[in-house]
Amino acid sequence: MKLKGQGISHKYIGFFFLAVILLWIKTYVTQLTQFDLGIQNSIQKFLLFLNPLGSALIFLGISALFKGRKKYISLIVIDFLLSFLLFANVVYYRFFNDFITLPTLTQTQNFGDVSSSVSSLLKPYDFLFFIDTILLIALLVFRIVKIEKKDMSRQKVAALFSMALAISCANLSLAEADRPQLLTRGFDRNYIVKYLGMYNYTIYDTVKSTTASAQRVMASSDDVTEVKNYTNSNYAAPNPAYFGAAKGMNVIYLHLESTQNFLINYKLHGQEVTPFLNSLTRDQNTLYFDNFFHQTGQGKTADAEFMLENSLYGLPQGAAFTTKGMNTFQSAPGILGQQGYTSAVFHANSGSFWNRNEIYKSFGYNNFFDGKYYHVNPEDQAEYGMMDKPFYQQSKPMLETLPEPFYTKFIPVANHYPYKMDQSLATIAPAETGDASVDDYFQTARYEDEALKEFFDYLKQTGLLDRSIIIMYGDHYGISENHNKAMAQVLGKEITPFESAGLQRVPLFIRVPGIQGGTHHEYGGQIDVLPTLLHLLGIDSKQFVQFGTDLLSEQHDQLVPFRNGDFVSPTITAVRDKYYDSTTGLELSQDKLDEAKKYHEIVDQKLAESDKVVNGDLLRFYTPDGFKPIDRSKYNYNKGQEDSSK
């Protein structure tokens, strides 16, 4: 394309198409190299190449509606915004292995806390995401391209948009042919980006998010009746051998940040990484579940808490903690509060992080001991609060102020990405894969394990160990799929999609004084913890709207949905529309696909029904017999002005 003389370069249309081509190629290369989209055939390869073109024409074409110099300025502004959107998604993907959604942009209260992690995600070549914008500005500044005063005619503008829409429609038709129901069954954002591109995905996400927000207005009591019938039909009756085994006991949740199950009994440099947790797999009073999976989406830790407190799934976009904090819930602290329990959360970070200081009120927590209750010395500082050992140490006096029985949750953060720690505190050498996140992960996991042992020793010394049920759970993965190459070295095998699904296992330990411990192989997920806990405490979960089932019940449902619509079970594992034998890891033969697709239909319905409850705030229309709706106005987490409802 000529850039000098009296040719097309001095016409706006030439400058426009140069911008389109640069954005198109940049976006294609980014989608190809920065995201793991699972390209499987020639149609998908072609669509990945094609989809940025239609988007570039449509979005940059908006500039043609302006006049004079403004059309050049608007073109550059739009190009910059699209480039920034692309760059932001790349940085987000490097950690979360996912794409930004509109609800995640509302989580501004978290931005200050995560800024230190963002810097570790940046790469030296990231300036290239803006190279086309810089080039376009330079062409104008140095007058290599002169501004054309004449504006495009309406006919040319119409022709431009017609061409853009034709390309986009052809793109969508080909995508629908290769992936039927692409837009209606869109739990997995990978598919939308792969088939339609980053910019069209943003439009799709905006529409989906807006629609979800409108569901509350349209909801009625009829909707909750349908959901209640659904959960009743999937209810699992308690196991008589365990029902009421922990009746009247304290409940202590110990959050295992970013802890994956492969760490249990794993040895590095000949040493156990988690010797204390390993010992609990042999403890006579501890149930250990080795096929327990996290089911979090974009909310990660917040999603894990949401499921454990409510037995409702997190949302497909964003986090219910930040977008649904004012909803009506029938959460564990609210349920147990009406059984005489005092409740509290201990977390040495800002109370506004993940909107905890608001949604905890809707859950019915009496107390929230957040960062303002802790004194964080510089040497005790962690990425998102304070190191685990001083955190537990400073939490003890606050725990001792709570009347028994109590329901408590401790959220330590030392084992959090990017897994950096003072080497004077490290008691195991890092791994040697060459991937810093993976290598350092073992040091912070060991430190987390040591802090847990110290806290258990305290519980034993005070007698709390003998009168409390203690639940330890992994909240989400610590090492994302972006590090599969290093994980292959750690585990000594290739990390296939099937193996990656298996790596979503996280530990679950339930210690109950007096019961017979042991390892349980049942498949389950975070959605199942609340009904399991209630039954151990002698409270039947049937009257509540819960989507999990008791892990100890003979009727427990071992189909474990993931938030993107994939699933695992003892027989079949589904990953990105491929189905595997859960025992062998081999793809299923054609004659078994019907059963797999039936599982997928069950998963889709389960997720959709839960989303109805959360997006429609349906629990405001239903109150179980004997349960009083939680009054969030009773709770105050300001230091010195704590809850007076107890």
**Binding-site positions for Mn(2+):** 257, 301, 475-476
- Give yes or no for a contact between 477 and 457, defined as CB atoms under 8 angstroms apart: no
Half-sphere exposure of 587 (CA within 13 A, CB side): 8
Known catalytic residue at 301: yes
Q: Point out which residues pair with 252 in neighbouring strands.
A: 408, 470
Tokens of 225: 């009746």
d(CA 511, CA 287): 6
Among candidate residues 104, 281, 296, 301, the one labeled active-site is: 301
Q: Return the number of other C-beta atoms located less than 10 Å from residue 512's C-beta.
A: 20
Of 302, 355, 306, 314, the closest CA to residue 529 belongs to: 306
Q: Are strands 560-561 and 342-346 parallel, antiparallel or unpaired?
A: unpaired
Question: Distance between alpha carbon 492 and the CA centroid of its chain, in Å?
Answer: 27
| E strand or H helix at 161 | helix 154-178
- Annotated binding-site ranges for substrate: 416
- The SS3 of residue 532 is helix
d(CA 269, CA 430): 9
d(CA 629, CA 617): 13
State the DSSP string of 85-118: HHHHHHHHHHHHSS---HHHHT-GGGHHHHHHHH
d(CA 362, CA 370): 17
Tokens of 469: 């049920």
- Give yes or no for a contact between 447 and 413, defined as CB atoms under 8 angstroms apart: no
Sign of CA dihedral 442, 445, 449, 451: positive
Four-point Cα dihedral 435, 438, 439, 440, nearest 10:
120
- Annotated binding-site ranges: 257, 301, 416, 475-476
Strand extents, DSSP E, 526-609: 560-561, 567-568, 572-575, 578-581
Q: Hey, which residues are catalytic here? A: 301
